Chains A and B, each alone.
Chain A
Amino acid sequence: MHPVLNQRDRTMSEDAPASTATAEKKLPKDLAAENGMVNVQIDGHWIQVPRGTRMIEAAKMAEKEVPHYCYHPKLSSPGNCRMCLVQMGMPPRPAPGADPEYGDDGYQEIGWMPRPVIACANTVAENMGIRTTGELVEDTRKGVMEFLLINHPLDCPICDQAGECKLQEFSVEHGSGQSRFQETKIKKPKNVDIGKNIRLDDERCIMCSRCIRFMDEVAEESVLGFSQRGTHTSVTVHPGHRLDNNYSLNTADICPVGALTSNDFRFQMRVWFLKETKSIDTNCGTGANTVIWTRGNEIFRVTPRQNDEVNSAWMPDSHRLAFHSLQTEDRLTRPLIKKDDQHGESTWLEATSKAAEGLSMRQPNEVAIIASGRLSNEELFLTQKIAQSIGTDLVSIVPRKGESDGKLVSADRNPNTTGANLIFGTDEACAKLDAIREGVIAGRIKSLIVLQEDLLAEAGFKKEDLEKLDHLVVTHTHANSTAAQANVVFPGTGFAEKRATYVNVTGRLQRANQAVIAPGEARDDWEILSALLGKLDKDYQAPASMDGVFNALAKEVSAFNDQTFGSIGDLGVSITETGVTIPLLEQEKARKESGIIVG
């Protein structure tokens, strides 16, 4: 993030020449000011931080944790939880006419304030001191924790947040373990249905207002607010409204306690059983960074992962709940071959031979490939190779246009249109779809390969069109009407079941990791394509792993040059300029520039 320099080291190194030189010795404050920085002493150590940094962020740079509930870097800071109280000190104001006195190290002496201040909404100043430990700070934290827990129902065994609850964590770290509260706890509404994805439990709420600010500032649908006063304060949804926004589940993510929980994940599994896999979302061109939470071979939830170049810290509900479609009963699990109008289970070897046979007996212009914008770069690369080996130029993806929601949902619902454009070397990878459709209707095209697409449902094909084909090869994850027509069906894998790379609408190369194993005999799509290519092209050397395909891709397609699966990293790298921006990031940038948020 920001460069953190140890000021003491820096002045020491400059001490020797300064003492001999005639030039006046520069004070640390002047050295820092040259770079727009200020010197701050945090727990006894001087560091330089950019001017205007919040104290809590300065402490983070010094690797000191300041516990907090209401503060969130992507939201405004109301400073209402009081958990981030620290001790602050400034140099005493000199008497009229007196000059400030500097010590041997070049700093003024700090006069410590007798009362704590909140670290989240105060900014640092030159020569400021911050203490994140010490008797005063520890006592305040203990006091704040005691107040927060006064009316807390302590239903952790029932609460879904248990295990990732900040109230639990800070209670262990800073609380007292005993309650001195003798009176009856205040009762508030529990288990309130406030929206289709979110459940509210007001008793657990600590009034940090993160959810309210999120709905106001990021989702821009102010349906949440506080009602009542004093200890009766509770979060409510405005009368006549519901929390049905497509970003509502982010409020459950940022809720530091279990007041807002996800209906979808409600009582499904305790979080400590879940394994986290970093991945990306493949439901639209934005490619929001995600974490997939699994136990065994089952996905339990998908949550956003912070990437300031893609999705900030948020994710739309519609996309995060889409994983359920992977865990349905109608998944394809074995290769199928059609005999006498009836699909029968087959082996991979037989199905691949059968698929290749029907393709190679045709003239090149009688074969077409309909790929998908949902395929990864590696799969599209192999698709291109298959097309080259057959000799056809009839390759297209199926466009999937929707409307942008002005935030994170891109108008392009294909996760990899940019990748397809780069690999096919066109501006419009879906341009030839109409030509292929007409060719099929006119009977010019005899053999068709369809990859991860349902032509009848999404590409404007009709059942009688496909009946004209002699040979139809389909790969898909689910049984569908196009696959029902196919001569050979290969069971493919879904987004969480493979390692793969995608290029999002802004031209950022990102990678998805495998979180679960595909059901039955389903194989990675690149393996299916590689096996098929091996049958069509006798000289083809099938790589041993997906990385091999990616390396070949990186060698041949210029935009991918010098990339490896490892070099992409968790946050991705920008490989091309598309001129497309993500609206939510633009809004965030504006709020950051106006100083509302830290960002």
Chain B
Amino acid sequence: MAIIKVQRPKLSAGEKIYFGSIFKGMIITLRHAFRSLVGKSVGAKELNSSGVGITMQYPEQKWDEELPEYYRGTPALVTDELDRERCVSCQLCEFICPPKAIKITPGEIPSSDEWAKVEKRPQAFDIDMIRCIYCGMCEEVCPEQAIYLRPDYVVTGTTRKEMVHDKDRLYEIGGKRVGLVNKWNDLK
């Protein structure tokens, strides 16, 4: 392999003492500082700035309105318009989940229940939000359209246990979802 010797650039005396460049940089910085204090930063409006520079003050300020429709936040279970559980605990999401965040305990709907026709629903449904990678595979695989990734992304807690969303929490996040699900239909 050929060895190429790179010549160092020859610097002039002014360049060698570099104060000139520092001074130039400080002027630019100060100009931006002044502009942000008077509220005239470039792009501040578009980026929903808090008024100082272009910074958005999270969590006081949030960008939620700007989230795209396909945004994948925390996965949650949904009920239908009559508050029936859509999930039948087929455990396909548990199977597909790449980080194994989902754990389902299937259970039988007692025959006394009004919707006993469906026979099966989850007894427990836990999603470990420390493990969840928000990939959306659970939503994609669900044959009953029961699990969706919601726009919520603020999942915090002080213990590991708090970070596990149980069934009640999942339904609370998920809310209702209206749409045709055939399994309640007596003719199907």
Chain A interface residues (CB < 8 Å from chain B): 153, 155-158, 162, 184-185, 187, 190-191, 266-270, 272-273
Contacts and interface: CB of A to CB of B under 8 A. Distances in A.
Q: How would you classify the secondary structure of chain A's contact residues: helix, strand, loop or mixed?
A: loop
B119 A158 contact: yes
Q: In the complex, which of the residues B111, B116, B120 has the most CB atoms of chain A within 10 Å of its own CB atom? A: B120
Q: In the complex, which of the residues B90, B111, B186 has the most CB atoms of chain A within 10 Å of its own CB atom? A: B90
Contact of A190 (B92, B117, B144, B188): B117
Nearest to B182: A154
B187 A267 contact: no
B151 interface: no
B102 to A, nearest CB: 12
B119 A270 contact: no
Contact of B95 (A187, A267, A268, A273): A273
A162 B89 CA distance: 13
Contacts of A191: 111, 116, 119
B144 A269 contact: no
Contacts of A272: 95
B175 interface: no
Given A184-B187, A191-B111, A158 B95 contact: no
Given A266-B108, A267-B108, A270-B90, A158 B120 contact: yes
Given A158-B119, A268-B106, 19 more contacts: A153-B188, A155-B183, A156-B143, A157-B88, A157-B144, A158-B88, A158-B90, A158-B120, A185-B188, A191-B116, A191-B119, A266-B108, A267-B107, A267-B108, A270-B95, A272-B95, A273-B91, A273-B94, A273-B95
Given A153-B188, A267-B89, A273-B91, A158 B118 contact: yes
B30 to A, nearest CB: 63
Contacts of B91: 269-270, 273
A266 B111 CA distance: 14
B66 to A, nearest CB: 36
Contacts of B94: 273
Contacts of A187: 186-187
B90 A185 contact: no
Interface string B106-129: 111001000011111000000000
A295 to B, nearest CB: 11
Q: In the complex, which of the residues B91, B107, B118 has the most CB atoms of chain A within 10 Å of its own CB atom? A: B91
Q: List the 4 closest pairs (A to B, CB-CB), nearest first.
A: A157-B90, A267-B106, A270-B91, A157-B143
19 contacts: A153-B188, A157-B88, A157-B90, A157-B143, A158-B88, A158-B119, A162-B90, A185-B187, A185-B188, A190-B117, A191-B111, A267-B107, A267-B108, A267-B119, A269-B91, A269-B106, A270-B95, A273-B91, A273-B94
A156 B141 CA distance: 13
